[in-house]
Structures are given as structure tokens and as C-alpha cells.
A and B are shown apart, each in its own frame.
Chain A
Amino acid sequence: MAKHTTSKIVRNRLRKEKIAKILMQLSGISITGSLFFIVGTILYKGLPYLSWEMISQSPQGGFYIGKGGGILNAILGSLYLALASTGIATLIGIPISLYLNLYVPKDSFIARSAKLLFDVLFGIPSIVYGAIAFSIMIWLGIRASLLGGIITITLLTIPIVVRTIDELLKTVPIDLTQVTFSLGATRWEAARVVLKYIKPGIFTAILLAFGRAIGDVAGVLLTTGFSDNMPKYIDEPAATLPLAIFFQLSSPIPEVQGRAYASALVLTFIILFIVLCTHLLAAKQKKHKL
């Protein structure tokens, strides 16, 4: 009798384990599945509407009621915006993270609190940046323009660059910097050696920031405005791809909505391409030797 109950208890415990394991597998599958699901949905809906005209022309008269044209202006606008702001963010972000790792002691109060601050800033949503930038622009009497968007997105991407590079700098062997210093190098010369060591990783950081910049809506909605013209001047409003998707999607006309799906597909391709590059570079960083 006693033996019988124990085995029953054990069996119960094992059954629980089995159920838990199945639940865990199911959660894992649904989480990874969600990615394929999202990309799949956009692919399925967008592919029929994707055409060469879409990506090679700017909107023509009556574009928003379903007539001819494309979203080249938005693609270019987004690329300019993302390139410029990532470029500036990199130029500002790399010196900051080098400063925090090589110039001030790593465990000093300044380094620790600055890193904490950048971690926190990493999470500040772009709508907050957009809102404040917008009211500063109104205060200064500047209208929505490509430049306004670039400044906003730069602020948004600096924390990304700083944090990613900081993580990379942690992987630099301490011997490397110490050998450099012992040979009489200045901190800047040591920094150049370190930069060479993490070179592929720097591109990863840039690509991460680029991906964030090209996909952002809330920050550019208020600061960059929208325009049907090709972006030519930095002080004029410019179209951006995510915003083009958003606007076309809110149209009641099926043709225009279809274009929104196709635009979403274009953005998806850009993002997937960036992710692929990051992945390849990360693999390279692992093998990278000085």
C-alpha cells in the first residue's frame, strides 16, 4: 500500500515535469514563431503590390487616391536621415565611450554613473525626444525639416552607440592596453590600438543605430514633417519611410493601403539586410585578430 502511494506521488511529480516541459517548448515556439509570423504577414500582404514603379518614383498627382507614383522620396528621405544621424552619433559616441574606458578609471564614479545614465537614456522613448525637439523648434521659429529630424534622431542614437561600443571595449584583453601603455604610448595612441581591435564591432554598433534610426516614427513625426518631393534641401520637410507607411495605411482606398503593405515590405527588407550584416560582422569580430 505504502509502496503504491509513493510510486503514485513520484509519477505525479514526473508528470508535472513533463507538462512543464511541454509548456516551455510551446512558449519558445510561439515566441520565435511570432517573428516569422510578422515577417510572413507583411510578405504575404505586401508582395502583390510591390512593383518597380513603387520604389523608383516619387508620388505623382493623386498618389493618395490610388494614382501613379512611388515612395522613392520616402526611401531616400529615410536613408539620408538615418545616414546623417548615425554618422554624427558615431562621431560623438565613440569618443565618449573611449573617454569613459581609457581616460577615466573604469571603476571611477564618473565612469559608472555616466554608463548608468546612458543605459537609462537607451530606454527613453523617441516621442519624448520628438516632443521636446518640436517645442524647441517652435520656440526658435524653425519649421519641420530634415535637419530637425537628424538632430532628434542623433540624440536618440548616441546612447545606442555608446553602450554597444562600451560592451565591446569590455572584451578587449587587458594585456593589450597595458602592453601599449608600457611601450610609452599615450592614451590616444592606446585608444587607436583598441579601436583597431574592435573594428568589426564598431560597424555592428553603427548598424544597430542605423536600424533604429531608419525605423523610428515618433521622433520624426513632429520634427521632419512630410513631403511629396524628393528630399533636396536640409531645411525642408522630408518624407520618411515609416511615416509613409503610416499615412498610406490610414487611407480608406484599398489601392493606397496596398502600397502601404508594399512599403512595409521594403522597410522589412532594409531591416533584414541590416540584421544580416550585423550578424556577419559579429561572426567576424569573434575571429578578428589585430
Chain B
Amino acid sequence: MKFRLWIDKIVQYGSAFLLVTKILVVVLIAVGLTFKSLPLLQNENLWTILSSSVWSPLKGNFGFLPFILGTVWVTLIALIISVPLCVMASIYLVEFASDRLRKSVLPLMNVLAAIPPVLYGVWGILFVVPILSNYIAPIFGVETTGFSVFAGGIVLAVMIFPILISIMVEVMQTVPQELKDASLSLGATQWETIVSVNLRKARPGIVAAIVLGISRAIGETIAVLMVCGNVPQIPTSWFDAGYPIPALIANNFGEMMSIPMYDSALMFAALLLFVIIFGFNLISRVVLNRLEDHG
């Protein structure tokens, strides 16, 4: 009898210990990143680092603006492409599609989510980049290799399809049937009902899904690195090359030890990603949890 209780206690403390350890690791990551980026922050003030556009590690200039804007560009392009498509497709899946269609499309989204980033990158190089440089850029009268923020945006857009679709479908399914019926019985067409009832009711969830998509896009490293061109400049058009923050970290880790402050600068970049993504995820998860509780 005692023995059973002992095992129970052991398991209890054991798992509590694992949980605490895991949380400590997260704290350790945050503290470690801050600690490592301190030298850079002591050297220059935060605002200069974020707003300067000069990046020459050898001279000790670490301006993050090109990288921040690179990330902003690819993320925005990805959203411009994917959000309308995903909103429309989720409405269709929830309101019009047959059960069979819905049940066969949603697992496909899981497949899309399971494809590793590097394969998206390969696809980007094999397909997106050549299409951009050979067919799309000439329409706008631009010369480009195709390795551009536009290519990064397209690849990212496809990468965030699954997360957008799965959450949007889930949220839209929680819109009460009575509300839709009320609108329809007043003579609204189905499309008008969707615009004025479904979308309005599901708006917080859609926004939360988009925010989750953004944080996925911001942190994506290898796929973007492969197609963006990686030139430390501020992109001024869709066809310019860009250099997002994760690509900066991944590309320069090898040499960071030989140049003073370089490691601190890269750690600061990682800290930046960590803080932004942690914040974004936290906000959207809280919103989604609240929706789930009320729905």
C-alpha cells in the first residue's frame, strides 16, 4: 500500500522537477541572450543600434535597420499574399464546402505544415526565383536575379498557409448559427451574411491567427535565407534583395568569434527575435484562449 503511494509521490515530484527545469531553461535563454548582448548595448544606445543603417562589423558599426526592414518587408509581402487567400479559403471551407471536401483539405494542410523549411527553400530557388526574374520582373520593367524580398515573401506566404487556415477555420466554426440565420432571414445573401456576421464575429480570432503567422514568418531562417539575396541594404522595392534578421544570425556565426563585439551584436539580434516573437505569440494565444473559453 505504502509502495503505491511512494511511486505516486515520486512521479509527482519527478514531473514537477522536469517542468521547473524546462521553465528554468527558458529563463536561462532569455537571461543568457540579454547578458551576451550587454556589451553592445553598453557601447551604444539602443536607439542608435536599431535606427542606424551602417553595418560594418570590422569598423565596429552595428546598425540593425537594414535587417529589421528586411524582415518587415518579407513579412508584409507574405501577409499581403496569404491573408486574403486564407480568409477566403477558410470561409469557403466552413460555409460552402461539403464535409468530405473539408475533411480532405484540412489534413493536406497538416502535410504542408510538416514540410521542412529547407524544402520550401529548394522550391523557392527552383521555382519562385526563376519565375520572378524571367516572367514577373520584366512586366514591371525591372532587372533582377529573382533573389529578392518578393521571393522571400512568396515562400513565407506558403509556409504560413497551414497555421492561418487551421486557426481561421476553427474560429469561424464557433460563429453561432442563430446569428447567421437571423441575417439570412432578413434577406441578406450568403455573402452579405459572411461579411457582416461571420467576419465580424470571427475578427479577434482572425487577427490572432495573423499575429501567429507573423511570428512564424519573422523567425523563419533557412527558407528565407535561401531566396532573399542577403544583401545588407534597405529594400526599396519588391524586387530588391533583403537580409532578414534570422538570416543574419545564421550566415555570420562562423566568423563572429574573430571580430570584437560581433558575437554580442548577433546575440542582440537573437534577443530581438526572441522578445518580439515571445510577445506576439503571448498576445495571440491569450486572445485565442479567451475565445475558446467563451465559445
Residues of A within 8 A of B (CB): 13-14, 16-17, 20-21, 23-28, 30-32, 34-35, 37-39, 41-42, 45, 92, 95-96, 98-100, 103, 114, 116-117, 119-132, 134-136, 138, 155, 158, 186-189, 191, 208, 211, 214-218, 221-222, 242-243, 245-246, 249, 260-261, 264, 267-268, 271-272, 274-275, 278-279
Contacts and interface: CB of A to CB of B under 8 A. Distances in A.
B206 to A, nearest CB: 14
B191 A20 contact: yes
Interface stretch (B25-33, B44-52, B72-80, B140-148): B25-33
A24 B108 contact: no
Given A127-B219, A132-B33, A242-B118, A28 B285 contact: no
B122 interface: yes
A249 B257 contact: no
Nearest to B274: A128
Interface of B: 4-5, 7-8, 11-12, 14-16, 18-19, 22-23, 25-26, 29, 32-33, 36, 84-86, 88-89, 91-93, 96-97, 105, 107-108, 110-112, 114-123, 125-127, 158, 161, 165, 189-192, 194, 212, 215-216, 218-222, 226, 246, 249-250, 253, 257, 263, 266-267, 270, 273-274, 277-278, 280-282, 285-286, 289
A215 to B, nearest CB: 2
Contacts, number: 241
Contacts of A221: 222, 250, 253
A116 B289 contact: yes
30 contacts: A13-B192, A17-B191, A24-B89, A27-B92, A38-B112, A95-B11, A96-B19, A114-B19, A116-B285, A120-B282, A123-B212, A123-B277, A125-B273, A127-B273, A129-B29, A131-B267, A132-B32, A135-B36, A135-B263, A135-B267, A187-B8, A217-B117, A242-B117, A243-B118, A246-B118, A246-B222, A249-B122, A260-B122, A264-B122, A268-B119
Nearest to B35: A135
Contact of B219 (A35, A124, A217): A124
Nearest to B223: A217
B85 A30 contact: yes
B119 A264 contact: yes
A219 B274 CA distance: 14
Contacts of A155: 25
B134 to A, nearest CB: 15
Contacts of A20: 88, 191, 194
Contact of A132 (B15, B29, B216): B29
B92 A28 contact: yes
B85 A117 contact: no
B212 A114 contact: no
Contacts of A278: 110
B274 A124 contact: yes
Most buried by B among A21, A24, A272: A24
Nearest to B121: A246
A120 B253 contact: no
Contacts of A268: 115, 119
Most buried by A among B93, B118, B218: B118
B223 to A, nearest CB: 9
Nearest to A38: B123
Contact of B29 (A14, A95, A128, A261): A128
Contact of B161 (A31, A188, A261): A31
Contacts of B92: 21, 24-25, 27-28
Nearest to B257: A138
A21 B191 contact: yes
A81 B191 CA distance: 50
B11 A191 contact: yes
Contacts of B126: 41-42, 45, 261
A28 B89 contact: yes
Contacts of A191: 11
A136 B112 contact: no
A123 B281 contact: yes
B22 A158 contact: yes
A37 B150 CA distance: 18
A16 B190 CA distance: 10
Most buried by B among A116, A134, A218: A218
A109 B116 CA distance: 35
A186 B119 contact: no
